[in-house]
Amino acid sequence: MKSLAIYVTVVPSPGGPAALQGGDFFTACRHQADLLAADDDFEVEILRSDNPQDKEKAASGTYDFIIHVDSRLQLADKAFSIMLENSAFVNDKAIMVASVAGPDGKVVYGGRSKNGKLIQPDPVIPVPCRIYDEMFYLVPRQAPSQHPQRLSLVMAPGILATCGEDAMPLPEKVPFWRKISLLRRIVDFLNE
């Protein structure tokens, strides 16, 4: 049996504390986790970024896979299954990135070219990318000698989630740490 952690970045939204946000999201997460446990022989645990013990578990390296997902997203049916199936397609040797569409249906998060331009997902096959947004992605467990920064990056086919206006990548809403993270990845890539 393979182990999977679904690590949810809980983002506070207007109108209440983070712990009370995303009720529908967590219901959808649990439903998809239950399907994986029943159909694909996975042991699934949902972890939250607003719980210090969950952060430690996610960083422990004990899971075969970790799916990182933002709590402001609306997941497509079987989004987690699609991520895992496509990871298996590339022999679990790549970070699998999901594309996320905004309210207008256009891709706003996902895989990007080396110059930062969003890449449109193929509807059927995984597509390589050079950098990615950290809204929804899967990381397979690696041997101790390997580093996640050295893994290939591949976009899963199709659009696997949508986001509302509260999660749109507007300049005033992009957290500073996301900008730094993206810049670090670009610098690491250019130094290879």
3-51 residue pLDDT tens? 999 999 888 765 544 444 456 888 888 999 998 888 767 899 999 998 9
Q: Please give the residue that has the higher pLDDT: either 144 or 36.
A: 36
Cα–Cα distance between 125 and 78 in angstroms, integer? 16
Q: Could you report the per-residue pLDDT of 112-135, keeping only the tens digit for each?
A: 988 888 999 999 999 999 999 989
Q: Could you report the per-residue pLDDT of 100-116, keeping only the tens digit for each?
A: 999 899 999 999 988 88
What is the count of structural domains for the chain? 1
List C-alpha distances in Å: 102 to 41, 95, 161.
33, 22, 9
**What's the confidence (pLDDT) of residue 20?**
43
Q: Please give the residue that has the higher pLDDT: either 81 or 188.
A: 81
**What one-letter code names the amino acid at 152?**
S
Instruction: Give yes or no for a contact between 154 and 99, defined as CB atoms under 8 angstroms apart.
Output: no
Host domain of residue 126: 2-191
Q: Could you report the per-residue pLDDT of 155-187, keeping only the tens digit for each?
A: 999 999 998 877 776 554 555 556 667 677 777
Joined tokens for residue 73: 């997203």
pTM confidence score: 0.80
**CATH code where residue 158 lies:** 3.90.550
